[in-house]
Amino acid sequence: MTQTARIALSRPLRRLFDYRIPDGMVVQPGQRVRIPFGRQSLVGLVVDTGVQPPEGIKLKPISAVLEDWPALPDETRTLLQWAASYYQHPLGECLFMGLPPALRRGRPASQPAEQAWTIVPDASTTPLPAQAKRQKALLDWLSDLGEPMGQKDILAAGFSRTQLKALADRELIREAYAEERLSSRKPTPVDTLPELTPAQNVAFGQLPRPDEGFTASLLYGITGSGKTELYLHYIERYLSDDQQALVLVPEINLTPQTVRRFTRYFGDRIAVWHSALNDGERLHTWLRIRQGDPVIVIGTRSAVTLPFTKLGALIVDEEHDTSFKQGDGFRYSGRDLAVYRAHLNQCPVILGSATPSIESWHNATSGKYRLIRLEERAGEARPPTMRLLDIRSRPLEGGLSPRALQAVRERIERQEQVLVFVNRRGFAPVMMCFDCGHTSECPRCDSRLTFHRRDRALRCHHCDYQTAAPQTCPNCDSDAYKPIGQGTERTEDVLQSAFPDTPVIRVDRDSTRNRGSIDRILERVNTGEPCILVGTQMLAKGHDFPNVSLVVVVNADGGLFSVDFRAPEQLVQTLLQVSGRAGRGVIPGTVLIQTCHSEHPLLNQLCDGHYPALAEHILAEREALSLPPFRAMALLRAEAASMEESLSLLDAAKAQIRDNRIETWGPLPALIARRADRHRAQLIFLSDRRGPMQSTLANLCYFLENEKKPATLKWQVDIDPLETG
């Protein structure tokens, strides 16, 4: 009987390819092979062996195996196979994500080894000719070091290749083996951890023990409570010397402090993984992990696919952060894959946050995850005071009210630092009256109408109601009826001209793009000199600003009335995170939130600073509206050269849904209906049950792939979408 293998390619194809295994060749799932494909020769990954191809089909043989071990270990392969079906993404593309770029291209899975030299026993007492002074010096040096040295280091110490060769010819030194080099690698000196505070100790005692196998826990710890400190202690206490650990973080270039803290305690065991690494660095780290080195990886979402085989602990820091979800292509959630991965590797997973995602909060309070609370700040720091600043009928300059500007002035005069936060999320889709606070609702449903700038239309996202946007407020006739967020482009200029002698530092995507730029910003802030930080979401990410005593939130209302059902959740998370930057030192912090809706229950609850109550409030709303996490949601997006093309594809898709357990909303033009001359639309699916939804979507993807459609039309499915605009 012929042996066959089913093989995945790094192509956006929803199918696998069968090949014959030539006599004498051994292959197993996860292994890289080279196969003939049309006129090309491609790298493939074995998914399965022993499958029977249909009768009478003559299969081409695999050309070669690239290595005789599976590049993807079982856990990683199973994880990615699961993810491919959960996220409805082609299996080949998912599996290849588990390989570093060099290996995807078919490079050998080995490191160009550095040559190293070691001294043979008794060599240092062997007499050398008098004129060979440098050779003698090299020999003494190696003898003093007492361990193998890399050639690079030897040359850097001022010796030459000729001297090395001469000593080798005299058989006084020899090349060191790889194992000798590894074992002799000097550990970097590490610090000892600070003692845990009493509150931290209590939380620590509730963390899962490694012998419990798989458990998922949510560590709810307020900002500055010492979550990072707990992770460090956890790894120190429970990870054995031969185990691996993974710490997922949102965006590494924004959190250099975290990496430094880990390196201080674990030295060489720390490896980082993020998109700014080059191919060589990625291959190096990937191989270290694949070989079973006991590394502790600090990485962004894709690190969850690394080839760990000895995973002892998995931590997801700032688990609520939306950057754990990939925004295009294979739209997976690194956090959710981490939980499944811990299950596959039978190890504990700890999700940590001061503002847990509503999904995780629900899992924790319904008993699916263990809930661990840490509600005290470590050290002297106290939580900040939060207050609402009603800006109705008040003139704004660059989005700032006179009272907010006055508060900034007081702090600057006291030589303190200020943070001005411009919320860009949930930006502009809603029109609001800045005199009376009125926003427009759909007359047919309970949802807000969204503003579409291009045709000045107000549209409902749940039904197809639409109307022209009025020029003045329908409630009080004021002409201050504008999209929320307008005017904040000028915030930085207004601050700079009001405070000409104070540095105004902008922190956003653009100003932090380069490697090290956030470091420079942090350094400037850490001098403690008075300054004004102006920025977006980026400012809410785990930084420690001990001298910031005031936070001004320019526009909270966008998040209250956005059509995106996740906007309130993201608003309170962002505001609590950004507030958490204030008063981390000895100066108590104040947070001022500008709003036209100072009576809004969510904002008032926010001022208590107590996240669990907010989470419960939001959960209750979600339950009332049957939204996630109470129903599964998926989104089908289409974009094409015209809106008609996009909508008609979505109409055709909708017509395919025959299962009445699946509700659909739309199709509708997206909030940003036109981007770079592409017309975008969406169709939303909701269901009580994931099973039927999964199979319906799988069939739908198959239908869409085979449907005749314009060449310029693109579609994609997004499971558990974070943005529904």
Residue 80: its H or E element: helix 74-86
Instruction: Rank residues 200 and 547 by Cβ distance to ligand ADP and give the closer one.
Output: 200
Three-state DSSP class for 383?
A: coil
CB of residue 541 to ligand ADP, shortest distance in Å: 11
Return d(Cα 363, Cα 359) in angstroms, integer: 6
CB of residue 380 to ligand ADP, shortest distance in Å: 10
CB of residue 476 to Zn ion, shortest distance in Å: 3
Instruction: Rank residues 224 and 429 by Cβ distance to ligand ADP and give the closer one.
Output: 224
Return d(Cα 442, Cα 461) in angstroms, integer: 9
Q: Which of the choices Zn ion, ligand ADP, none does residue 544 contact, using the CB cut-off of 5 to 8 A by kind?
A: ligand ADP
Q: Which of the choices ligand ADP, Zn ion, none does residue 221 contact, using the CB cut-off of 5 to 8 A by kind?
A: ligand ADP
Assess contact for 127 and 308: CB atoms under 8 A. Answer: no
Strand order across the 4-9 sheet: 17-20, 4-9, 40-49, 32-37, 64-65
Instruction: Rank residues 260 and 520 by Cβ distance to ligand ADP and give the closer one.
Output: 260
Instruction: Rank residues 354 and 550 by Cβ distance to ligand ADP and give the closer one.
Output: 354
CB of residue 484 to Zn ion, shortest distance in Å: 13
Other CB atoms closer than 10 Å to residue 205's CB: what's the count?
Answer: 9
Instruction: Rank residues 71 and 381 by Cβ distance to ligand ADP and give the closer one.
Output: 381
Q: Which of the choices ligand ADP, Zn ion, none does residue 428 contact, using the CB cut-off of 5 to 8 A by kind?
A: none
Residue 388: beta bridge partners? Answer: 593
Return d(Cα 126, Cα 22) in angstroms, integer: 56
Q: Which of the choices ligand ADP, Zn ion, none does residue 200 contact, using the CB cut-off of 5 to 8 A by kind?
A: ligand ADP
Please name the amino acid found at residue 54: P
Residue 147: beta bridge partners? Answer: none
Please name the amino acid found at residue 590: T
Q: Which of 253, 239, 179 has its CA nearest to residue 208?
A: 239
CB of residue 193 to ligand ADP, shortest distance in Å: 8
CB of residue 435 to Zn ion, shortest distance in Å: 5
Assess contact for 568 and 559: CB atoms under 8 A. Answer: yes
Instruction: Rank residues 473 and 647 by Cβ distance to Zn ion and give the closer one.
Output: 473
Q: Which residue ranges make up the site for Zn ion (CB under 5 A)?
A: 433, 435-436, 438, 442, 444-445, 460, 462-463, 465, 473, 475-476, 478
CB of residue 464 to Zn ion, shortest distance in Å: 8
Please name the amino acid found at residue 298: I
Instruction: Rank residues 223 and 302 by Cβ distance to ligand ADP and give the closer one.
Output: 223
Residue written as token pair 């600090």: 298
Q: Which residue ranges make up the site for ligand ADP (CB under 6 A)?
A: 194-197, 200, 221, 223-229, 378-379, 544
Return d(Cα 64, Cα 247) in angstroms, integer: 36
Q: Which of the choices ligand ADP, Zn ion, none does residue 196 contact, using the CB cut-off of 5 to 8 A by kind?
A: ligand ADP
Q: Which of the choices ligand ADP, Zn ion, none does residue 699 contact, using the CB cut-off of 5 to 8 A by kind?
A: none
Q: Which of the choices Zn ion, ligand ADP, none does residue 194 contact, using the CB cut-off of 5 to 8 A by kind?
A: ligand ADP
CB of residue 220 to ligand ADP, shortest distance in Å: 10
CB of residue 375 to ligand ADP, shortest distance in Å: 11
Residue 451: beta bridge partners? Answer: 458
Instruction: Rank residues 97 and 576 by Cβ distance to ligand ADP and give the closer one.
Output: 576
Return d(Cα 384, Cα 387) in angstroms, integer: 10
Residue 219: beta bridge partners? Answer: 352, 372
Q: Which of the choices ligand ADP, Zn ion, none does residue 581 contact, using the CB cut-off of 5 to 8 A by kind?
A: none
Instruction: Rank residues 196 and 606 by Cβ distance to ligand ADP and give the closer one.
Output: 196
Q: Who's near 326: CB < 8 A, 6+ residues apart?
A: 301, 332, 333, 334
Q: Which of the choices ligand ADP, Zn ion, none does residue 224 contact, using the CB cut-off of 5 to 8 A by kind?
A: ligand ADP
How many whole angstroms from its chain centre is CA 504?
Answer: 29
